[in-house]
Amino acid sequence: MSGPGDTVTLAVFDFDGTLIEGDAGVHFARHMIQKGYLDAITDGSIASRAWQLTRMNWATARLLFDHARLHLGYERGDIDRRQMVQSAYANFDGLDPATVADEMDRFARDKLPAKLRPNVVDRLGQHAAEGDHVLVLSTGLHDLIWPLREETGHAFEVVACHLKQREGELTGQVTGPTTGAEKATRLVAVARRSGHDLDEAYAYADHETDADMLEVVGNPVAVHPTDEMRRRAREEGWPILERGRLEPNG
């Protein structure tokens, strides 16, 4: 972390699974189903409330199943990270961009604060208080992350994905960093642009797909890690942040 008279230190945080519990995109898709924007309840039928709720439950179950299927395919090597991220937002094809933007902002402010990990937010706050350049770098959606600057009480830069538009409608595709390797490339670009020393930089992430990002900094930290990330952290001697404290490793 930066000290008096030091150059500014870069501190990079992953979002899904790191700064928050779970995946914000899945939480938001469930919200959109319940609001009636996705195909679960948008056919205009005059069904009873009970039938609508049944359909929403089925749609949510299908969403979770599809998400699990994508992750399984990714873990098996059947699809790559880019395909998994792109597939996650396919159902947004044809939706109105302004409506979705409003829903993302409302959802991020009303629902996501409860998903924030207090110990990670505290760590982010420590970096901000030291005057570090804090960056949240994610394959998730920018507009689900940006409102949390206000909710956390800390200013940070956000580099993440945006929903693509064509002729006034969403296309169901995203633009932005969609793989761990692309996140590492973006991290290096930010450091070069801002004159940061990567050997002094910090990076925090929970999943092994972000190992590329952790490898390029001098202070990598595994946060509430998956089993594979925990194994990698032990091999590399990376400290682990969980249960409210930073634990040395190795």
Report the greatest alpha carbon distance in the chain.
Answer: 67
Structural domain boundaries, residue 165: 10-247
Which amino acid is located at 237 in the chain? G
In a domain, 4, yes or no: no
Cα separation, 115 vs 17, in Å, equals 10
Cα separation, 115 vs 31, in Å, equals 14
In a domain, 5, yes or no: no
Which CATH number do you get for residue 54? 3.40.50.1000
In a domain, 196, yes or no: yes
In a domain, 151, yes or no: yes
Cα separation, 95 vs 84, in Å, equals 20
Report the run of H or E that residue 202 belongs to, with start and end.
strand 202-205
pLDDT at 241 over 80: yes
Number of domains in the chain: 1
Encode pLDDT of 27-62 as tens digits.
Answer: 888 888 878 776 543 344 434 334 343 444 444 455
Encode pLDDT of 148-189 as tens digits.
Answer: 999 899 999 999 999 999 999 999 899 998 888 999 999 999
Cα separation, 76 vs 192, in Å, equals 35
In a domain, 212, yes or no: yes
In a domain, 141, yes or no: yes
Cα separation, 42 vs 45, in Å, equals 8
Encode pLDDT of 107-146 as tens digits.
Answer: 999 999 999 999 999 999 999 999 999 999 999 999 999 9
Three-state SS across 162-195? EEEEECCEEEEEEECCCCHHHHHHHHHHHHHHHC
In a domain, 17, yes or no: yes
In a domain, 58, yes or no: yes
Report the run of H or E that residue 199 belongs to, with start and end.
none
